[in-house]
Amino acid sequence: MVDILTTEELETKIKEFIDVAEKFAEPYRQKILEVLLADYLRSKAAEKAAEIPETAAPAAAPTPAPKFVISIGVRALLQQYNVPEDRIAKMFLIDGEEIQPTYHLKTPVIADVQIQLALLTALENAMRAGRKFEFSVEAARERCKELKAYDAANFKANFKKNENLFKSLKDEEHVELSPEGKAELAEVILAISE
């Protein structure tokens, strides 16, 4: 493993992973750290293997579309809340790097639909590598309008009533989920992917 990355690179990554793990409840930190580190080392080993030239490579083999890989943050959330990873495939059509929602929300209450769409928008953003569990209020508003679940008079009030699900509502372009929001997201995933 020493020839794959330097000790400094490894130390830096471990410190980053510790910072990420500390955002979760104590019982989950060790496992999250292990998952993050294992995934990082696996990706570095794959990069190193890709650098080694093959002596008898087949001529002009067609390149398959890139396989979508669920981000480490999403995998950590799924593992933390015991949500099977295959539930994501039931909720989204994934083709290469493209993600398209296919889920149907089951609640008839518009206020609940608006919050669920915001949480699911944050999930979709987090599925793309390196992104946080966050959304913009305007993106959530547009999704609600698309699904005919927009209540203009109470839209912002619904978010204020559920402000514990978000770290802050001040920056409407970058509303990040709180730990309670992530727990609620896990429940939504389980509910709509049955």
Does a structural domain hold residue 124?
A: yes
Q: Flag the least confident range among 20-29, 152-161, 164-173, 177-186.
A: 20-29
Please report the pLDDT score of residue 66 as a whole number: 56
In this structure, are 100 and 166 located in the same domain?
Answer: yes
Residue 32 domain boundaries: 7-51
Q: Quick one: what percent of the chain has pLDDT higher than 90? A: 30
In this structure, are 135 and 47 located in the same domain?
Answer: no
What is the rounded average pLDDT of the residues 21-35?
A: 78
Q: What's the rounded Cα separation, in Å, for the pair 18 and 65?
A: 33
In this structure, are 94 and 188 located in the same domain?
Answer: yes
pTM for the structure as a whole: 0.64
Does a structural domain hold residue 139?
A: yes
The answer to whether 116 and 107 have CB atoms below 8 angstroms apart is: yes
Does a structural domain hold residue 61?
A: no
In this structure, are 37 and 84 located in the same domain?
Answer: no
DSSP H helical ranges for the chain: 7-21, 26-51, 72-80, 86-91, 110-127, 137-146, 155-161, 179-192
Which tens digit of pLDDT belongs to each residue from 112-147? 999 999 999 999 888 875 678 999 999 999 999 998
Please report the pLDDT score of residue 65 as a whole number: 54
What is the rounded average pLDDT of the residues 144-171?
A: 91
Residue 30 or residue 133, greater confidence: 133
Does a structural domain hold residue 135?
A: yes
Please report the pLDDT score of residue 104 as a whole number: 86
